[in-house]
A and B are shown apart, each in its own frame.
Chain A
Amino acid sequence: MQSDLTQVRPYGDTLGDGAMQLSFTLPVPIGPEAIEAGKQLLEKMGFQAVSVVHVADMGEGFTFFVAYAKCPISIDFTAIQVPQAATAFLDFDATNEFIRQHIGRRLVVVGACIGSDAHTVGLDAIMNMKGYAGEPGLERYPMLEVHNLGSQVQSEELVAKARELEADVILVSQVVTQKDVHILNLTQLVEILEAEGLREKVLLICGGPRISHELALELGYDAGFGAGTLPPQVASFIAQEFSQRNK
């Protein structure tokens, strides 16, 4: 059984069946009309063989749906191109050694969760001494001088701090967002850095579960790291990219 990579569909239990699992809420009271509305909505989206398997009354005229359906659309996997931060992976020791040899001084890294975000989980996983999943965080790197400003830092404040500390690298994290406020926050930071004439002087990196490298580049960042990133991936990017740019 060979998958045709030019026509990839979701896989339920048979190759090419296009089966998908969906859940959502409609602001309508539960009943036969609600079930029909859920079904028609999915059909309008192009789904076929729609089966609403569960509905629940959530009160105040809201209904919860679980549905299965077949997706008739396919994707040409062979044509996919995803930009990724193009630097080699170096481990802890190699990164420190690289900075020592190629830059010859400690790099100053300033990090923060900007805007409304109070979730420092991602930032801490990358920056804190303890790190994440057994990988030490940036604070542990002798060749990095790390300042973790914590959560809910306003962009203006972050930029002022970066200037004061003569930052080489700015890391921003956006974890929990509402109504795409993370895009707004990230854009605003770039604008302030540009207005202050600092944008070209720093490596600007963002991270978070809804961040991709592609999105980061689009927003004017030098790199973006998504869910599951480990500290050494960020550290080795910082070392090599900074050296590359300051040759």
Chain B
Amino acid sequence: MLFKPGESCEICDSREGVLEQCSMCGAYCCENCRDDKEKICLTCQEARCFICAEYLASRACDRCGRLVCEDHGVKVNEVTVCNLCRANET
């Protein structure tokens, strides 16, 4: 099945209203599934790095559970620790 973006909201599948592209991931989403102020979809809003908010997360921090991008979390022995927890531990 070929994915054809732009026909409906990529999050809730709604075909109503104006679809706009998320500035972080490019997904087309309806007004219920985006934050117009930040111009991003709700998925990116939840999945972005809690430290920089600039990039999407690659892992959850094993200590605090929050999501971090590759720049703000270090993976040691299969365990990801965010820079904030690392700073607090040292």
Do A and B bind?
no
| Chain B residues close to A by CB (< 8 Å) | none
